[in-house]
Amino acid sequence: MIKESLYLDTSVISNYFDTRDPMIHQFTREFWAKLPKYRPLISRLVRTEILQASEPVRQQMLDLVVDFELAPILPETQELADAYVAANIFSAKQYNDAIHAAVATTTQVDYLVSWNFRHLVRVKTKRTIPLVNSSKGYSKYIQIIAPSEI
C-alpha cells in the first residue's frame, strides 16, 4: 500500500516541543503518533528554520526529523513561489511560506501540514493556490491542513 505524503512546515515540528499552547502541543503530539502511516517530508528551508532555534530545542527538532525525506527546492519551486507572491497569496515578507507551499506542490505531496493559520492554513490560500498551480501546469491538488485534521 502506498502511503500518503505529508510536507511539514517548521511550525509542526516546533510545536512538538512548544508547550505555550497546550491544545496545539497536544494535537501535535497526537499527529506525531499517526506519522508512521504517512511519508513525511521537509525541505532545506525547514532545516534552515530549525537551525535558527536555540539549544537544546534545535537539536531535539533535528533529531525528530532526521529520518524524514528531504524535498528539493528547485528553480521551478522558486518560480512557483514567485507566482504566489505575484498573485498576492503571500507578500514578499511571507516568501518562506510561499516556498513551503511551492515545495509541497512541486514534490506533489498529498498534504501540506502547518499550524500557520495566518498565512497557510486559511481559506484565501486554500482557494487561490490551486488556481495558480493549475495556471502553471500543476494538476495535483495539494490539501493544506492543520495537524489536528489528520
Amino acid 16: pLDDT: 96
Supply the CATH number for residue 88's domain. 3.40.50.1010
Along the chain (150 residues), what's the average pLDDT of each consecutive run of 10 residues? 93 95 96 96 96 94 96 96 97 96 96 94 94 95 94
Alpha carbon separation from 78 to 17, 99, 126 (Å, rounded): 30, 7, 19
Amino acid 1: pLDDT: 76
Task: Quote the cell numbers at residue 148.
Answer: 489536528
Range of the domain at 48: 5-149
pTM, full prediction: 0.94
- Counting the structural domains of the chain, the total is 1
CA dist 43 and 24 (Å) reads: 22
Amino acid 123: pLDDT: 94
Amino acid 148: pLDDT: 95
Task: Quote the cell numbers at residue 75.
Answer: 528553480
Query: At 123, which helix (H) or strand (E)?
Result: helix 123-135
